[in-house]
Chains A and B, each alone.
Chain A
Amino acid sequence: MIDVAGLGRRYGDVVAVEGVSFQVATGELVALVGGSGSGKTTTLKMINRLVEPSAGRVTIDGQDTAAVEPHVLRRSIGYAFQGVGLFPHLTVAENVAVPLRLAGWARDRIDTRVEELLALLELDRALLARFPAELSGGQQQRVGVARALAASPRVILLDEPFGALDPLTRDRLQGAFDALRRRLGLTAVFVTHDVAEALVLADRIGVMRAGRLVQIGTPAEMARQPADEDIARLLDTPRRHARVVASRFESPS
């Protein structure tokens, strides 16, 4: 379980995040949604201390993250983000193996695990020896997720992992990921600006605005009792889009 309590981050006089508190139950996926600059990515990065909080604290399964060495903390948390961040000088196999090598796994165990992960993310074995630059965007994203899952973390952080993909690929990857994280029982925080994606994947959704967490709840709770007009409209957008699309399909030409 992740417990985020009174988390805040200032850059000089600029407040990026302030007073953010929420819990993520074991096996639950919480999606943080909001516009750019709303503080959702900063909040995510404070969980694995890529950004050091200036206020508040994060505990994971009762362990205060501030008391753990940052690199040790990060090795226990999977992390995948948009832009992928694959190491361009390493092959696909080597990229996926990085967390395993850091954890000191033996070579043959690493090889087995890497093949297993590739199968899990439906990546062709032929890609193992390729470099990231030789892959399509969707393949890169999959490799990024495979790397995040490599060391079997209990907690995974994802920052728009399916951004910048064509809709079909995106849909397939979302489906694959959803099944996977339920099967593995991962505790996950997922950042996205796409409300539809959040509604599809998340158990609960947190809406952020100007550095604050405005509301958090299940899609049903939020649809029933939105904190304000904006949230009501925000959650309604996918439905409105769907209605418009449906009417286009149905209208006689």
Chain B
Amino acid sequence: MSEALALLPEYLSAHVRLTLAALLAGVLLAVPVGVLVSRVRSLEGPVVGLAGVIQTIPALALLAVMVPLLSGLGLPGIGVLPAFLGLVLYSLLPILRNTVAGLRGIDPAVLEAAEGVGMTGRERLVQVELPLALPVVAAGVRTATVWTVGMATLSTPVGAPSLGNYVFAGLQTRNSASILTGCAAAAALALGLDFLVRQVATGLGERRRGRIAFGLVGLGLLAAWAWSVGGASGSASGAASGSASGSEARAIRIGGKTFTEQYVLAEILAGTVRSRTGRSATVLTGLGSTVAFDALARGEIDLYVDYTGTLWSTVMGRPAAAESRERVLEEVRAWLLSTHGIRVAAALGFENAYCFAVQRETAESLRLRSLDDLSRHAASLTLASDYEFLSRSEWRSVERAYGLAFREKRTMDPSGGSTLSTSWCSRTRSGRYRLTTPSSWPAPGSRARRPT
């Protein structure tokens, strides 16, 4: 727990920086667009509709989409930028909608009076319309604030640190204290920011300068704290996006995916780099599987552990089943070097195949000894799988070959105890949960796990 709390300033400040920057950009973008839309009626449908469509994209997917999008544009695909842009897009709708509604809701008699006293369009906007719409706009900003704080926890997989790091790491390492810390801190931050924004909003509505000042000073202090704490760790992310200037000073950036083994391997690698080379090493874990690869390909991280089978089927897009591990490794090595200039550093030397795991009681009562046995009982069993497996070609071939028609298939974090799940044979946790892998079961599409 104290270990988790030690990370709080870093994660919280990163979260605050991300949230405040995205909100500020959201306001600066959505308010002018809202003004324009309220002026040009034909724009309202398309613009508000577009913002609405962005909103229907699941938050995590929106962030994930930013990665290839930015990479395609030649910008850093992982880190703060994709998270920031995703959050800005997400914050647009409530601010935009409320700006339009606030401007539309103004009494026409007041607008006529503004014209009648001889205001120009700009004077009317600045002196009458915006002040009158402000309380409604501010309510939209409050909604956006709470959404943005929540969504920022999802920026971990695209490589931006946030309170989500507690949650993602906690999920993978079965550390509920870590998950709770992340949740509680995010909720407290959402409440705190909402409180401060509300002070500004109601202060504007009731023309109480004290409240406005209170809210703004509060937000300013929070921002000042977040950026001062971020100064130290910010240099690391700055180096990550910059070119290798003064290579002896730059930290080695080690990536890791979103599951337990990767958290462990990344830390081992970092420790090794530090002790063997004396250089500093930063760890960026919780990256989506292909996000990690793209980050390496673009030089945004220097090193991570991947699996030949994953590279073979997901990145290279090859059909399943090559004849031997050695052959797969050689082809992957050659392909990575020629296509992406990535060198496979070493093979870690262990094979890590997908396998099916069931609880011993289930295996004994159903007399499960082989995949044939399993296919007979599949209709009564629910299969839990990691995020990738069910969309990989290995699964489709084993499904076809053995006629495995499960009652239900769930994609989830499979590290908990389920009746039947895909697992990795290298996992040691199987013993604790008494999962068995009958030795006669062939591993579907055996994958040699080798680091690049």
Contacts and interface: CB of A to CB of B under 8 A. Distances in A.
Interface of A: 48, 50, 70-76, 79, 81, 83-89, 98-99, 102, 147
Instruction: Assign chain B's interface to a size class.
Output: 10 to 19
A88 B120 contact: no
A87 B113 contact: yes
Q: Which 10 A-B pairs have the closest CB atoms?
A: A85-B113, A75-B118, A74-B118, A79-B116, A83-B109, A85-B109, A71-B118, A89-B131, A71-B120, A99-B117
Interface in B79-118: 107, 109-110, 112-118
Contacts of A98: 117, 119, 127
Contact of A102 (B107, B119, B131, B132): B119
B116 A50 contact: yes
Interface in B101-159: 107, 109-110, 112-120, 123, 127-128, 131-132
Contact of A81 (B116, B123, B127): B116
Given A87-B128, A89-B131, A74 B116 contact: yes
Contact of B117 (A88, A89, A102): A102
A152 to B, nearest CB: 14
21 contacts: A48-B116, A50-B115, A71-B118, A71-B123, A74-B115, A74-B116, A75-B117, A79-B113, A81-B109, A84-B113, A85-B112, A86-B110, A86-B113, A87-B128, A88-B107, A88-B110, A89-B131, A89-B207, A99-B117, A99-B118, A102-B117
A159 to B, nearest CB: 10
B61 to A, nearest CB: 41
A113 B283 CA distance: 69
Contacts of B109: 81, 83-85
A204 to B, nearest CB: 24
Contacts of B114: 87
The main secondary structure of chain B at its interface with chain A is: helix
A144 to B, nearest CB: 8
A5 to B, nearest CB: 23
A182 B351 CA distance: 103
Contacts of B120: 71
A155 B117 CA distance: 13
Nearest to B204: A89
Interface string B319-344: 00000000000000000000000000
Contacts of B131: 89
A89 B127 CA distance: 10
A63 to B, nearest CB: 15
Nearest to A102: B118
A79 B109 CA distance: 12
Given A71-B119, A75-B117, A50 B110 contact: no
Contacts of B118: 71-76, 99, 102
A150 to B, nearest CB: 9
Nearest to A101: B127
**Most chain A beta carbons < 10 A, residue from B107, B109, B113, B128:** B113
B398 to A, nearest CB: 69
Nearest to B116: A79
A40 to B, nearest CB: 16
A83 B116 CA distance: 13
Contacts of A86: 110, 113
A4 B332 CA distance: 88
Given A71-B119, A74-B118, A99-B118, 6 more contacts: A48-B116, A75-B118, A81-B109, A84-B109, A85-B110, A87-B113
B132 A147 contact: no
A71 B128 CA distance: 15
Given A83-B109, A102-B123, A89 B132 contact: yes
A87 B116 contact: no
Nearest to B135: A89
Contacts of A88: 107, 110, 132
A85 B110 CA distance: 5
A181 to B, nearest CB: 18
A81 B108 CA distance: 13
Most buried by B among A75, A88, A89, A102: A89
A87 B115 contact: no
A38 to B, nearest CB: 20
A50 B119 contact: no
A74 B120 CA distance: 10
Contacts of B110: 85-88
Contacts of A76: 118
Nearest to B123: A102
Contact of A79 (B117, B132, B207): B117
Interface string B218-250: 000000000000000000000000000000000
Contacts of A83: 109
A76 to B, nearest CB: 8
A86 B114 CA distance: 9
Contacts of A50: 112, 115-116
Residue with the greatest number of chain B CB neighbours at <10 A, chosen from A76, A79, A85, A86: A85
A21 to B, nearest CB: 24
A224 to B, nearest CB: 37
A85 B109 CA distance: 5
B207 A74 contact: no
B206 to A, nearest CB: 10
B279 to A, nearest CB: 60
Interface in B412-451: none
Nearest to B106: A88
Contacts of B116: 48, 50, 74, 79, 81, 85
A30 to B, nearest CB: 19
